[in-house]
Chains A and B, each alone.
Chain A
Amino acid sequence: MPRVNPIDGDYFRDERKDGDFKVIGKTVQRSDALGHVTGRTEFFEDRTFPDLAHIKIHRSAHHHARIDAVDTSEAERVPGVLRVITHRDVPSNWYVVLRLIGIEPNDEPVLAEDRVLYKGEPVVAVVADSEAAAIEGAARVRVSYTELPAVLDVEEALAEGAPIIKQAGTNYFVYEGHHARRLRFGDVEQGFAQADHIFDWRYSSAPIEHAPTETTGCIVVPQSSGRLLIHSNTQAAFFTLDNTALILDRPFSDLQVKGGTVGGGFGGKVDVMVEPLACIAAALTNRPVKFVYSRAEEMQVSSPRAAERIYIKDGVMNDGRIVARKVMLYVDAGAYSRHSPYGTTKACAHLPGPYTIPNVYADCHCVYTNRTPSSAMRGFGVTIADFALESQMDRIARALGLDPLQFRLRNAYRDGDLKAHRKVAEGTALIEVIQRAAALVGHDLPEEYRALSSTTPRGEAA
């Protein structure tokens, strides 16, 4: 029998109205479970083709450098090498995946042109009969560089006099004319002025890898119709198709993506990193082409979860009410945008956490540095913010001698509260999960805290 967590129906009983479902709310075995545990599930890489060709990449050796010359002659002479691909073979080389929703500018080349912005950036792709020949060919590409000063710290990147690494002219993404995604609610300085206590701390994280069991990859098969069939482990079939067609400068109907079986995604397979080059190689060689990341590529040159630096300044009253919160957030996007401008906005929408605070101010910076571009990963914008926010809550509770759960309950948002991004809260349940967790571990709460409810408007609370 599968393990099932108990559902406590005493909470929100009036709203649940269950009992008449036949299938919903029942444990049904996952349709893919048996295939996964018996090894019968077919992943993209399980498809074999007699004339399958392979792609390997020659990557930048420097964090930031001008490319003076690229010599592929030795690579082309490696037995088995079919074709060497440079930026000249990429019809529309500059892109940003979020252009599908109107994000500008196109800030990243599929293959580097005259400069590289991170160590590991793709410069040349080598297509060969065998994986070994492709590896050998990629190793024999010679690139001459002139190294340039690198920026590897988010706050140094924003400091006056920092080398500007981006063509757009700023080391940060521009949000409608602003250097950061802004949140302005109430008057945070007035809130600090009225507060009994001020708490001002810094939090940070390092990049984190998605670490899927199956690395990012695809096999592209030219069809007799002239179309390209892409077997992919993408998390988003049409997102991949549309971005790939734009890079190939071909009609969208020329491409077909087949996927839906993924050996671990966690946000790491929405960047459209392998399909465009595999399509170009398949079209140039008229052979099925496989492009799959090695484990080392997956760990070091595929997008990680962004490192973040977060400063939180809180104004708190003696009774534990938080009256002002100011957050300065720096998201390390690495060298290119990918999904980070979006993730930074998501972070902004999450602030100031699940608490009702009358005065909130935040600047959420999406900062470019000379490292592997970060991108989407499970909960991006929120996961690291929650680490910072909930560490902050613990420290304040201790500093004021308050019970950590009572302190949270006092500030918890409720139905009808106006969030800092000016959306009225509904369907809230923070109070109830805290109350139930307290009961779960035998953490005593006084009656006045056990009586709190998310559905009781703040003004009417006891």
Chain B
Amino acid sequence: MTLLRGRGYASVNYPTGMNLGGDPSQALIHATTMGAFVISLSSVDLGQGLKTVVAQCAAETLGMPMANVIVDTADTDTGPHCMGTFASRGTHRVGNAVIMAAREARDVMLAVAADELEVDAGDLETDGTGFVRLKGSPETRIHIQDITLAAHFKQGKTISGRGIFLKERNYPVPETGEMDPDSCQAHACTVADVEVDDETGVVTVLGLHNTYEIGRALNPAMAAQQVEGGGWMGVSHAIFESTEPYYPASRDHGPVDFCEYLMPGPAEIPVQESVILERPASNGPFGAKGIGEMTANAPIPAIANAIFDACGVRLTTMPFTPESILRGLDALRA
């Protein structure tokens, strides 16, 4: 038995959004009388952190602390339309819609504050802690709670805003495939290190070394979660998963539970190290691009290429099972 080590490379890009069916999302925002801002959406947070990241977009735009932002989603009676959470579109589309809504609400907020302070709204700024203050004269200030109370009980104004992001639908040209299918592209390069056991055919992914260009890391810890969670799925796709082990020859032997459908457990998770680059997208919220889906992609070919580097077997069918490795080694020895 020999443990053979190898290294493989892959570089990829990935589109944000997919507007060939039209790709809109809306957001509404309103202030409560006590200084909170409620963002109403119908968007779905799949666990990637959409609710958190759009709250950050709202807080940044309003100039208010995160604690003042409440996200209410996803109820079709109360939230405006969203196409859904797919195509790496959530952060980009919903983030943009929330920024637009927050800008409108901010303008009203500043106008109300200006009336209370008897100054010009254009001379006001937010301090990020909950106050609106006069530029250059920070002692002239008013707290958001006093602004929202004044708006409701004194000035008779709603501090609210409407936002939508729409990239217009594009129709591919049938003859040539000419089209404008996306808003921007994120980029990645993965270097995979593997170990192949030439007796059992088992592949162990030792490490994934990644560089991701994602426009803007709106929340660096959640970006890390995306990269590492997706890397796990890439490893899983590469060396474990299929609902039809004998595709396409036979439809039989399909796994029906997690005893038969294998995925990496704690012992099979590689070490990951990643570097983030930011080239802000002109149309992204604070420049962000979508990376929800792409993080599973580059690891797969990087692992295939590393397996070849390790043992000389070129696997062209996913997943890269021990059986396929052993058959490949047999063919090399023949």
Q: Out of B74, B237, B298, which one reaches A259, CB within 8 Å?
A: B74
- A378 x B189 contact (CB < 8 A): no
CB distance from A345 to the nearest CB of B (A): 6
Q: Which residues of chain A have C-beta atoms less than 8 A from B12's C-beta?
A: 353-354, 386, 390
- A300 x B176 contact (CB < 8 A): no
Flag A419-445 by CB within 8 Å of B: 1 or 0 each.
Answer: 011110111111011101100110100
- B10 x A390 contact (CB < 8 A): yes
CB distance from A229 to the nearest CB of B (A): 9
Q: How far is the CA of A430 from the CA of B187 in the complex (A)?
A: 6
Give the interface segment out of A46-54, A126-134, A198-206.
Answer: A198-206
Flag B237-269 by CB within 8 Å of A: 1 or 0 each.
Answer: 100011111011101001111100101000000
CB distance from B129 to the nearest CB of A (A): 9
CB distance from A349 to the nearest CB of B (A): 4
CB distance from B332 to the nearest CB of A (A): 15
- A2 x B221 contact (CB < 8 A): yes
Q: Which residues of chain B have C-beta atoms less than 8 A from A201's C-beta?
A: 316
Q: How far is the CA of A238 from the CA of B74 in the complex (A)?
A: 9
Q: Out of A26, A376, A386, which one reaches B297, CB within 8 Å?
A: A386
Given contacts A346-B18, A404-B305, contact A153 B189 (CB under 8 A): no
CB distance from B94 to the nearest CB of A (A): 12
Give the interface segment out of A107-115, A140-148, A179-187.
Answer: A179-187
B188 within 8 A of A: yes
- B261 x A184 contact (CB < 8 A): no
Flag B1-16 by CB within 8 Å of A: 1 or 0 each.
Answer: 0000001111111110
Given contacts A208-B237, A241-B76, A436-B211, contact A383 B296 (CB under 8 A): yes
- A24 x B46 contact (CB < 8 A): no
CB distance from B8 to the nearest CB of A (A): 7
CB distance from B9 to the nearest CB of A (A): 5
- B298 x A390 contact (CB < 8 A): yes
Given contacts A24-B56, A204-B317, contact A378 B248 (CB under 8 A): no
A window 1-23: CB within 8 A of B: 2-9, 11-12, 15-18, 21-23
- B305 x A5 contact (CB < 8 A): no
CB distance from A358 to the nearest CB of B (A): 15
Q: Which residues of chain B have C-beta atoms less than 8 A from A420's C-beta?
A: 177
- B184 x A427 contact (CB < 8 A): yes
B160 within 8 A of A: no
- B277 x A429 contact (CB < 8 A): yes
Q: A30-B222, A386-B298, A437-B11 are in contact. List 17 more A-B contacts (CB 8 A).
A: A3-B224, A5-B276, A9-B278, A30-B52, A101-B169, A183-B176, A209-B243, A236-B83, A237-B76, A262-B44, A262-B47, A296-B256, A354-B187, A390-B304, A408-B9, A430-B13, A432-B277
15 pairs from A and B in contact (CB 8 Å cutoff): A3-B224, A9-B278, A16-B287, A25-B219, A26-B219, A152-B251, A256-B75, A382-B15, A390-B12, A391-B301, A394-B301, A421-B178, A422-B178, A426-B282, A433-B189
Q: Which residues of B contact A (CB under 8 A)?
A: 7-15, 18, 20-22, 42-47, 49, 51-52, 55-57, 59-60, 63, 66, 71, 73-77, 79, 81-87, 128, 169, 172, 174-182, 184-185, 187-191, 209-213, 215-224, 227-228, 233, 237, 241-245, 247-249, 251, 254-258, 261, 263, 273-282, 286-287, 292-294, 296-298, 300-302, 304-305, 308, 314, 316-319
Q: Which residues of A contact B (CB under 8 A)?
A: 2-9, 11-12, 15-18, 21-32, 36, 63, 98, 100-102, 119, 152-154, 175-178, 181-185, 201-209, 211, 234-239, 241, 255-267, 270, 295-296, 299-300, 304, 307, 332, 342, 345-346, 348-350, 353-354, 362, 369, 371-372, 376, 378-379, 382-384, 386-391, 393-395, 398, 404-405, 408, 412-413, 420-423, 425-430, 432-434, 436-437, 440-441, 443, 454
